[in-house]
Amino acid sequence: MWDESDENEKVSCPFCDSEENCPHLLAVSDGSSLVGGFACDHEASFYSRVYDAFQKRLAEGDTDQEWSLYELDLLWESIREEKPGVFESGDADLSSGLMSDLLFVVLDVAGGSEYQGNAISQSGGNSESATRLMYAEDPAATCVNALTILDEYLAEKVPPKKRKKKS
């Protein structure tokens, strides 16, 4: 991977300076889902927590209740408004750029360090794609911390605001 601003500059780990996959690589996202890093192997734990919390809120009739974390609220709104009935049918698909954004925010709060440049990766043939990268000194501990933080965000209740209706 390299930085888009300088194709000769390889992206390196802030902890060990490796330009390859290293033990500090916490998360790699292609913009829609995690595609690498320690958190990728544990992505299902994040998804199941969000899915269960969304289902619980729907079962309790709290559909107008907002979430305290902006990215969580965006994901909730996109699913609730664009895919009504999806949780009741069991077909909820949380794999979206919004879920990826939520994971990066929670991993950041938990102690992850996101690469601040414009990382580009080569994928198949001559195809290039923008990539988000996050590192952590201890990815396992950061993931455990991130899951705890996510649970806290999912448990918080925020009074609903008046939402604008789509026309």
Does this model's pTM top 0.85? My answer is no
Residue-level pLDDT, tens digit, the chain, 167 residues: 767 777 668 889 999 999 888 999 999 988 878 889 999 999 999 989 998 888 888 778 777 778 889 999 888 888 777 655 666 665 566 667 888 999 999 999 999 999 987 777 766 556 567 788 999 999 999 999 999 999 999 988 665 554 344 44
By CB atoms closer than 10 A (0-12, 13-18, 19+), residue 127 is exposed
The rounded distance, in Å, linking the Cα atoms of 149 and 89 is: 28
Q: Which positions ≥6 away from 127 have C-beta within 8 Å?
A: none
